[in-house]
Chain A
Amino acid sequence: MFVRGLKRKCFDGEEDIEGTLAGIKAIPSYNLQRQSLLDMSLVKLQLCHMLVEPNLCRSVLIANTVRQIQEEMTQDGTWQMINTQSTGQAPVDRLVSTDILCRSSREQAEGKHVPGYSAFSKDFEGDQAQDRSETMSTASSVQAPRNLQSNVWEMENPQENKGNFQKSLDQIFETLENKSPNSVEDLFSEVDNSYYDLDTMLTGMMSNTKMGHCDGLEPFSSPTTTTSSSNCKSDLNELDHIVEILVES
């Protein structure tokens, strides 16, 4: 009952589709919706790393939302459930993305994922070991080793469980706090044209804020398809930032 109550308040479009057969079939499960909210939040935390210093209030609020979801999932036991659904090679308690709606198919193909997550696609598991060493050294272009983050943590802390997830949040905050002077040179070498593309991408994205993404039958699928192309492109540039941040910490 509690779950149902939450569902109604939390997710949009419920009132519109209740009572129709087609609607009932199309309602994503609460767990799926919650999972995609989690995905969305983690993507948002990544997108914080723009040219200008990220808005700390927004980051804190998103991080708190993520923690809330994480806590609820832990209490639910869903945390464990998701892990057992994985393709098996990860440590038991690692959070696995159920590969959702907030990413376009193109992003999935490139193996993009969020820190603390591992996008489970069999294509990438083979590449993981090779890519690791490259990314550890510099924070340069991010063509191949995108799914490196989780592997780095895995290698460093094979026993790490949910702390993996928490760590990504913490690292984000530490980055907001300080970037070590040692990395200044690295950062300067990073300043290439992609920065300016990032700006254009983001302004393009921000103008795409009209409502209507989340209404109708599938609250979480529509936003991703309409904004995914711009998301994708900006994310490619932002991974520069992300990897560099993670490597610094």
Chain B
Amino acid sequence: FLGAGGGNDIQWCFSQVKGAVDDDVAEADIISTVEFNHSGELLATGDKGGRVVIFQQEQENKTQSHSRGEYNVYSTFQSHEPEFDYLKSLEIEEKINKIRWLPQKNAAQFLLSTNDKTIKLWKISERDKRPEGYNLKEEDGRYRDPTTVTTLRVPVFRPMDLMVEASPRRIFANAHTYHINSISINSDYETYLSADDLRINLWHLEITDRSFNIVDIKPANMEELTEVITAAEFHPNSCNTFVYSSSKGTIRLCDMRASALCDRHSKLFEEPEDPSNRSFFSEIISSISDVKFSHSGRYMMTRDYLSVKIWDLNMENRPVETYQVHEYLRSKLCSLYENDCIFDKFECCWNGSDSIVMTGSYNNFFRMFDRNTKRDITLEASRENNKPRTVLKPRKVCASGKRKKDEISVDSLDFNKKILHTAWHPKENIIAVATTNNLYIFQDKMN
């Protein structure tokens, strides 16, 4: 496994943990999305209570060369509020499903955040000076009688304590009948897509009252519905290309130049089913919970219940690499169906150089797969390894038979402790791992 030897293997160390210490988890604090910005300086989280918390990395201290800057709270704001759909008599959750950063163009930062129905563009800007010296108002704020003003005083900017303000600049609403599962910003940085269970819409960042429907898989008769869209993403380089995954384990690549409504895919990626593994749960575990392009744009990664697959965009009939995340769960699928865990949607992510992929599992375990060395490692996000620069100890799950020392048996895994969201810094070996209500930051050991 990674870290077992060899000068290039990463040794992961605990760096920080954010969030409440107690085990009693407040529903609103459940983390629902994690995302680094393009430089990695900012790290955003969204939670079930509709809040966004942004952490900023400290500038590296030259004297403390043994660790990278810590992430501290930069801004917190309420992105979405709960709503009530009166027609259907149902609540619309304020839970933040996804956050996506825009590349930085000026001093301010911009991100898109979405709940089930509404996408919002937020501007996060800093204010560290304010104009002082106005002589037009009294102490209490009332305007002075103009005849009493005898001098022209030009206000001067004076420094003040840094204030970070978040303001909603655009609200993209009323375009989704079903629940939004993905947003993805196009490489043109002018448009983005939003996907719900049955449709994908294309937006212009400046225009909120219109969106274009580019994919619609809703059957004329809802009774015929057997497949839904589970995730969608724009290609990182080709602004006309995007992919979407389905609950049947397929990925469709679409080209927006081909037609206005991309109902016909350009490519269909699907791996034939392994007949020896067929069960009543086959379809459910093949449902793709996340799809992510590599930074290079040459590959894409999909996550289904038990595995991570890497696809070459030039090969549709099977993935080029498959990594088993927790194969020991295959014999427990019935229990996992009964307790609904089989429907958990795990995300996955690439490291900056596309050489390692990471995804979460149960018992607060997360897994990394090195594509070059073919080695993998299981680590745990736990407050027990709390000391900074403590190297994380690899974990092992014992599937059956004799349990070795330090191994954990499948039956003692805690299925309430799931790691669904992970993120990798775009340039460094810094990762953010979200447990139910805590955010862990790990770094590689620097010498």
Q: List the interface of chain A (C-beta within 8 A of B).
A: 5-6, 9-12, 14-15, 34, 37, 40, 44, 51-53, 55-58, 60-61, 63-65, 68-69, 169-170, 173-174, 176-179, 181, 184, 187-188, 190-191, 203, 206-215, 219, 223
Contact in complex: A214, B89 (CB < 8 Å): no
Given the complex, which residues of B lie within 8 Å of A223, measured CB to CB? 335, 338-339
Beta-carbon nearest neighbor of A186 in chain B: B89
Contacting residues of chain B (375-424) with chain A, CB-CB under 8 angstroms: 400, 411, 413-416
**B341, CB-defined interface residue at 8 Å:** yes
* Residue from A6, A9, A58, A191 having most chain B Cβ neighbours under 10 A: A9
Candidates A37, A55, A169; contact of B280 at CB < 8 Å: A37
Beta-carbon nearest neighbor of A219 in chain B: B334
What is the bound-complex CA distance between A65 and B334, given in angstroms?
12
Contact in complex: B90, A52 (CB < 8 Å): yes
**B445, CB-defined interface residue at 8 Å:** no
**B284, CB-defined interface residue at 8 Å:** yes
**A interface majority secondary structure:** helix
Contacting residues of chain B (118-168) with chain A, CB-CB under 8 angstroms: none
Candidates A12, A34, A61, A184; contact of B333 at CB < 8 Å: A12
Contact A53/B335 with A61-B283, A209-B415, A211-B411 known, Cβ cut-off 8 Å: no
New A-B contacts (18) at CB < 8 Å, excluding given A53-B91, A174-B223, A211-B336: A10-B333, A15-B400, A37-B337, A51-B90, A52-B91, A53-B92, A56-B228, A57-B228, A57-B230, A60-B225, A60-B247, A209-B340, A210-B339, A210-B414, A213-B339, A214-B334, A214-B335, A215-B335
Contact in complex: B334, A37 (CB < 8 Å): yes
Q: List the interface of chain B (C-beta within 8 A of A).
A: 27, 85-93, 116, 178-179, 197-198, 222-223, 225-228, 230, 247, 276-281, 283-284, 287, 330-341, 343, 400, 411, 413-416
Given the complex, which residues of A lie within 8 Å of B278, measured CB to CB? 6, 9
Beta-carbon nearest neighbor of B362 in chain A: A211
What is the bound-complex CA distance between A184 and B90, given in angstroms?
11
Tally the A-B contacts, defined by beta carbons under 8 Å: 135
Given the complex, which residues of B lie within 8 Å of A181, measured CB to CB? 87
Candidates A12, A169, A207; contact of B332 at CB < 8 Å: A12
Determine how close the nearest CB of chain B comes to the CB of A112; give it in whole angstroms.
Answer: 18
Contact in complex: A56, B178 (CB < 8 Å): yes
Given the complex, which residues of B lie within 8 Å of A52, measured CB to CB? 90-93
Contact in complex: A210, B415 (CB < 8 Å): yes
Between-chain CB contacts (< 8 Å), 12 pairs = A12-B334, A40-B337, A40-B338, A52-B93, A53-B179, A68-B280, A179-B88, A187-B89, A206-B340, A207-B416, A210-B339, A210-B414
Contact in complex: A209, B341 (CB < 8 Å): yes
Beta-carbon nearest neighbor of B218 in chain A: A177
Contact A170/B223 with A12-B331, A211-B413, A214-B338 known, Cβ cut-off 8 Å: yes
Determine how close the nearest CB of chain B comes to the CB of A132; give it in whole angstroms.
Answer: 25
What is the bound-complex CA distance between A92 and B1, given in angstroms?
60
* Residue from A11, A169, A174 having most chain B Cβ neighbours under 10 A: A11
Which 8 pairs from chain A and chain B are nearest by CB? A214-B335, A170-B223, A209-B339, A187-B89, A9-B279, A10-B279, A56-B197, A173-B222
Contact in complex: B226, A64 (CB < 8 Å): yes
Given the complex, which residues of B lie within 8 Å of A214, measured CB to CB? 332, 334-335, 338
Given the complex, which residues of A lie within 8 Å of B416, measured CB to CB? 207, 209-210
Given the complex, which residues of A lie within 8 Å of B333, measured CB to CB? 10, 12
Contact in complex: A177, B90 (CB < 8 Å): no
Determine how close the nearest CB of chain A comes to the CB of B352; give it in whole angstroms.
Answer: 31
Contact A58/B335 with A6-B278, A209-B416, A212-B411 known, Cβ cut-off 8 Å: no
Contact in complex: A9, B277 (CB < 8 Å): yes
Beta-carbon nearest neighbor of A214 in chain B: B335
Contact A51/B91 with A209-B339, A209-B341 known, Cβ cut-off 8 Å: yes
Determine how close the nearest CB of chain B comes to the CB of A21; give it in whole angstroms.
Answer: 21
What is the bound-complex CA distance between A15 and B331, given in angstroms?
9
Candidates A37, A57, A69, A169; contact of B197 at CB < 8 Å: A57
Candidates B279, B284, B332; contact of A211 at CB < 8 Å: B332
